[in-house]
Amino acid sequence: MEIIHFEHNKQAAELVAKWYDSPPLAYVHSFGCQQNVNDGEKIKGVLADIGYGMCDSVEEADLILFNTCAVREHAEQRVFGNVGALKRLKKDKPGLIIGLCGCMAQQQSIVDKIRESYPFVDIVFGVNGIDTLPQLLCEKIAGNKKRILLTPTERAEVVEETPIRRDSNFRAWLPIMYGCDNFCTYCIVPYVRGRERSRRSADILAEFKELVAAGYKEITLLGQNVNSYGKGLEEQIDFSDLLNLLCTVPGDYHIRFMTSHPKDASRKLIDTIAAQDKICNHLHLPVQSGSDRILAQMNRHYTVAQYLELMDYAKEKIPGITFSSDIIVGFPGETEEDFEGTLELIRKVGYMQLFTFIYSKRSGTKAATMPDPITRKEKTDRMARLLSVQDEIARKLVADMTGQTQRVLVEGSGRDEGTLSGRLTNNLVVEFTAEPSLVGSYAMVHLTGSRGTVLKGELV
């Protein structure tokens, strides 16, 4: 069969236009972290560039793409369930193209499983293969060639200028680096997303300026470990320098960033947040565990005392700062004493929000080889205890905010009819009655009370 080489998207667009009677529709669903959601926006941008419209249901679609996450086993099982459910759809609509991409697609074992058990999947490509999508699609359309591409994790260059179709017109993700070098022993990310690569600051600044000019209010800088931004670049720049550079762009906007690694989060970073009004007074600093023994087993390179010292410094320098964190419960060998260390730590810090996960064994990682004698029941019990302690902490912190008047970015509808939901710079959410036309803009809201961990307020 003829091999088709597409040098750029224009040729792909011509083929797509010739092949379909009317513009085809794509359904793209991204699982997992913000980095993956941003990749999904790029996938949609590339598809729009070659003539696809977007749709919200698999039934309407000519192309279905699942942009997957591999961080926990549960996420992988969900994807297989979703893909399996498409088999019948494909029978009824033979021209339907089904694709799987993202972190799961970077793993040989997953690709093998797709080949063996899901033969109706047409294209597979990994996180570094978004720019190859037009070619894969065209080969499928014109040559009816199934394309399973295992994208090398080490494909090292940073691809700039991929088209993008953003999900929101007032909140944007802006990746500043890709990959991770940390090899926390539980984590699959370094194996699927490869080594750390930072984008050049000039490229980030250019995209940032475009976003501000387009009216974006909230720009979230993304990276697996933003605090090691700059490593390997020719220019001498660190994450704080990058933040200071971006803050020179005039406009009405604010900056968030994630994720920070405690071992690299510096006092300089805290000082930068304190000095720059445009950076939100919220820090997501995943601690994972409150036991030094477990932290060492996790290869995290900090102790509880070092972590707490940085948090105290942040509290002192940035009045009103709030914290959030990721916690893993039931890491292999976690004892009751280790777990109590975690409870003690979360009480000391006083997080506004926790993202909590029961340890999930990922094959290929170091922790997967560690003895794990704790029963599932023990792990779920610990999780329930953790959630209950955290709920109490968060409710109190939220309730203590009442009486203040704060600027919020209005994000969408609230839970009750006629209400809107807005986010404070400290990342708390407030609901208040107002016109839907306010969505996407800033509003001043007086905080009158709370319901659980959500504030109630009145538009000023």
Q: Residue 256 CB, nearest distance to ligand SF4 (Å)? A: 17
* 103 known ligand binder: yes
Write each residue from 255 to 294 as x if it is in contact with ligand SF4 (CB under 6 A), else as -, in one continuous string: ------x---------------------------------
Strands of 282-284's sheet, edge to edge? 282-284, 322-329, 353-358
Q: What are phi and psi of 413, to 5 degrees?
A: -75, 150
Q: Residue 345 CB, nearest distance to ligand 5AD (Å)? A: 14
Please choose which of ligand 5AD, ligand SF4, none residue 324 contacts, taking the beta carbon within 5 to 8 angstroms, the exact cut-off set by kind: none
Please report the sign of the dihedral spanned by the C-alpha atoms of residue 245, residue 249, residue 252, residue 253. Answer: negative
- Distance of alpha carbon 25 from alpha carbon 367, whole angstroms: 42
Out of 50, 101, 187, 424, the residue judged to bind ligand SF4 by CB under 6 A: 187
Please choose which of ligand SF4, ligand 5AD, none residue 344 contacts, taking the beta carbon within 5 to 8 angstroms, the exact cut-off set by kind: none
- Distance of alpha carbon 378 from alpha carbon 362, whole angstroms: 20
Structure tokens at 240: 């704080």
Q: Residue 294 CB, nearest distance to ligand SF4 (Å)? A: 14
Q: Residue 76 CB, nearest distance to ligand SF4 (Å)? A: 16
62 close to 24: Cβ distance less than 8 angstroms: yes
- Distance of alpha carbon 72 from alpha carbon 274, whole angstroms: 35
Q: What are phi and psi of 333, to 5 degrees?
A: 85, 5
- Distance of alpha carbon 22 from alpha carbon 18, whole angstroms: 9
Determine if 367 is a binding residue for ligand SF4 (CB under 6 A). no
The residue among 343 and 454 lying less far from ligand 5AD, judged by its C-beta, is 343
- Distance of alpha carbon 252 from alpha carbon 216, whole angstroms: 9
> What DSSP element (H or E) covers 208?
helix 201-213
Q: Is the peptide bond before 259 cis (omega within 30 degrees of 0)?
A: yes
Q: Residue 340 CB, nearest distance to ligand 5AD (Å)? A: 19
Residue 125: alpha-carbon gap to chain centroid: 19
Out of 182, 240, 260, 450, the residue judged to bind ligand SF4 by CB under 6 A: 182
Please choose which of ligand SF4, ligand 5AD, none residue 182 contacts, taking the beta carbon within 5 to 8 angstroms, the exact cut-off set by kind: ligand SF4
Please choose which of ligand SF4, ligand 5AD, none residue 190 contacts, taking the beta carbon within 5 to 8 angstroms, the exact cut-off set by kind: ligand SF4
The residue among 183 and 355 lying less far from ligand SF4, judged by its C-beta, is 183
Q: Residue 366 CB, nearest distance to ligand SF4 (Å)? A: 11
Count of chain residues binding ligand SF4 (CB under 6 A) = 10
| 88 half-sphere exposure, CB direction, 13 A CA radius | 4
148 close to 111: Cβ distance less than 8 angstroms: yes
Structure tokens at 356: 């909590």
| Contacts to ligand 5AD by CB under 6 A | 71-72, 186-187, 286, 288, 326, 328, 357, 359-360, 362
Q: Residue 162 CB, nearest distance to ligand SF4 (Å)? A: 22
**How far does the chain reach from its first CA to its final CA, in angstroms?**
67
Structure tokens at 7: 């040098």
Out of 152, 183, 215, 436, the residue judged to bind ligand SF4 by CB under 6 A: 183
Determine if 226 is a binding residue for ligand SF4 (CB under 6 A). no
Residue ranges for the known binding site for [4Fe-4S] cluster are 33, 69, 103, 180, 184, 187
Can you give the binding site for ligand SF4, defined by CB under 6 A?
A: 180, 182-184, 187, 189-190, 224-225, 261
